[in-house]
Chains A and B, each alone.
Chain A
Amino acid sequence: MLKSTLILSLKILGRRKFFTFVSLFGICFTLVALMLVAAIIDHSFAARGPESDLDRMLLAGRMVMSGPRSTWNGYAGWGFLDRYARDLPGVDAMTVFSVTGRISTFAGANKVTLSVRHADAEYWRLFHFRFLEGAPFTEADVDEVRRVAVINEATRRRVFGEAEAVGRTLELGSERYRVVGVVEDVSVLRLLTTGDVYLPLSLRLTPQSRARLMGSYMAAFRLDGSLPPGEIQAEFASRLEHVEFEDPERYDSLRGRLMTRLDVIALGIVGGDVDENRTPLLGVILAAGTLLFMALPALNLTNVNMSRIFERSSEIGVRKAFGASARHLAGQFLLENAVLCVLGGLLSYGITLLVLDAVERSGLIPHASFSVEPAVFLWGLLAALVFSVMSGLGPAWRMSRLPPVVALRGGDR
């Protein structure tokens, strides 16, 4: 019975090309959009590549320093991170690194603008870069303020061509650096690890900047699992209350949070104050957005289904006359919808891969390497299936309940 109904569904979809096209378009549009968003979120925030330990990290970065007359909204300074954020309980390693800045150099006659990040030596232990050449700069390099650099693959190609880069000199502005390592490119959407050039943190620390509470630094803390993140976050918050201010007349409070990966995403997408937990709100917004985004094509599909099923009322009458029960007919229409949805899902998967491949090739997002996780595809498909069934349920049930004689007349009662 199921096999026959399945074959019948495919035959009917094949014969009713316009309806099939309209329905598939609606399903594909929704699913492709959802999978693209999921792929970009996954690409930007999932624990993989250099950030493979992200799931067991807490991050500090965005801070707000305020006082009676001023408010400074920005990133943490070295002074705060070094004096107040070290030796947190439950943390087995910590790294401090800068946000990226832009600097220009010349490759032959061509001006090349590079994104530069300064980091301590721990950075290379917490983030697992793949080295194509050489090695990371060391603690000694940082302590001795040596002019050494790790560059990415794209910079090597742009500045040194196809030749090896380790041991060669890279000129940035008026300074010269010895290349000690070359790492694989990291997507620009990976805010903690993207960069063209990585330099020792000590190169940009002056006596003044070493004391500043605000600056342009972030810190990542790898948890050892001995304490729940909440307790570590509470300890960080209590330390903020004991910060000493150089000029309390100007600034007398510092706010910020140790955030999980999800908190960072939530703050980035939803916005809000740095010490607010925006993750629950992000969850609500994402769920509501997804629901709404899928509900619109589902409603459209309901309409299409309604007209399609009414168009087939004579067939329904015939089937009833020859022994189909209301349950048989409702099942048949729902199966037709489900078949359509699975076809749409498979088609969407293919389209999504093509779109992502095109985005990668276009260079729109430098160094991007997208993928669609099977779980994302399956969840999307499941959601589409649920909506597809919901959109077909009402019309199918309504028509299946019609007395056969009314259905044979075209459902005019």
Chain B
Amino acid sequence: MSTQTLPQGDPTAPATDAPFLRLSGVSKVYRTEGMETLALSDIDLAVAPGEFIAVMGPSGSGKSTLLHIMGLLDDCTHGRVELDGRTMDTLGDRALARIRNEEIGFVFQTFHLVSDLKVLDNVEIPLLYRPGLRGRRRAWARQALERVGLQARMGHFPAQLSGGQQQRVAIARAIVGSPRLLLADEPTGNLDSTMGDEIMAILEGLNREQGTTIIMVTHDEKLARRAGRIVRLFDGRQVQ
């Protein structure tokens, strides 16, 4: 039944010159008790639809902050963030929540699975906040788990899975709503190299087959080279 099918991205969609995500002069300053810390300084970045970008840099260089701002999880102190031509800076909580729900998926280094919920329930989370899906949420969540090869673990709790399996659940959760942008913050950082390769293969598949735009923070030069472009940060500044 067509309504039970997880929506697919369109890898054959014509490439456009207009960037899907654009950061213009973005800076981030953290203020704590009279002290200011510059986490990002004057970042300009344009991301085309379907790109796979790796963000690299030493610890404290602002990689995660950049990813959070691109994912609308945090706001910037200066500058502008545009997604699909729309400026994000002026949007309120509900509008930002809707964009995160429909357009963006996240994969975190520490997985951030909800320990109280079973795997299938975890994957279903993004769909809970999307109206009009009654009766289709479970089917979509199952399909997302099948896509990452975890259909046999749907009824498990996260603590019953290995690190690699948990990260695959996190990927399933990130893609279940078919976002156009997938942000992965050191997705292989807590995994051994074999599991890291598996996760990387899944991300590459999504990018290649679904046309999903992927921005991945990593410390691993080898993995970064598998991305289409590398952005390097140092002390909050873009150096490449």
Give the A-B contact count at a CB cut-off of 8 A: 75
Q: A321–B117 contact, CB under 8 A?
A: no
B34 → chain A closest CB, angstroms:
16
Write out, one digit per residue, whether chain B residues 184-209 have a CB within 8 A of any chain A CB (1) or not (0): 00000000000000000000000000
Q: A8–B117 contact, CB under 8 A?
A: yes
Given A8-B121, A327-B94, A403-B73, A322-B116 contact (CB < 8 Å) = no
Q: A324–B129 contact, CB under 8 A?
A: yes
Q: Does A404 touch B at the CB level, under 8 Å?
A: yes
Q: A321–B106 contact, CB under 8 A?
A: yes
Q: In the complex, what distance in Å separates the CA atom of A408 from the CA atom of B106?
A: 12
Which residue of A is nearest B179, CB measured? Answer: A322
A327 → chain B closest CB, angstroms:
7
We find that the number of chain A residues with CB closer than 8 angstroms to chain B is 26
Q: In the complex, what distance in Å separates the CA atom of A323 from the CA atom of B100?
A: 5
Write out, one digit per residue, whether chain B residues 101-116 have a CB within 8 A of any chain A CB (1) or not (0): 1100110100011101
Which residue of A is nearest B99, CB measured? Answer: A323
Q: Does A4 touch B at the CB level, under 8 Å?
A: yes
Q: B97–A314 contact, CB under 8 A?
A: no
Residues 1-39 (chain A) with a chain B CB within 8 angstroms: 1, 4-5, 8, 11-12, 15-16
Q: Does A210 touch B at the CB level, under 8 Å?
A: no
Residues 76-127 (chain A) with a chain B CB within 8 angstroms: none
Q: B117–A323 contact, CB under 8 A?
A: no
Q: Does B93 touch A at the CB level, under 8 Å?
A: yes
Residues of A contacting B: mostly: helix
Given A322-B100, A322-B129, A324-B97, A403-B75 contact (CB < 8 Å) = yes
Q: A325–B97 contact, CB under 8 A?
A: yes
Contact partner, B114, options A318, A404, A405, Cβ 8 Å? A318
Q: B128–A12 contact, CB under 8 A?
A: no
Q: Give the residues in chain B near A321, CB-CB below 8 Å.
A: 71, 73, 100, 106, 112
What residues of chain B have their CB less than 8 Å away from a CB belonging to chain A?
68, 71, 73-75, 93-94, 97-98, 100-102, 105-106, 108, 112-114, 116-117, 121, 124-126, 128-131, 137, 173, 177
- What are 21 A-B contacts defined by CB distance under 8 Å? A4-B128, A4-B137, A5-B128, A8-B117, A8-B121, A15-B116, A315-B114, A318-B112, A320-B97, A321-B100, A321-B112, A322-B100, A322-B173, A322-B177, A323-B130, A325-B93, A325-B94, A325-B97, A325-B129, A405-B74, A408-B112
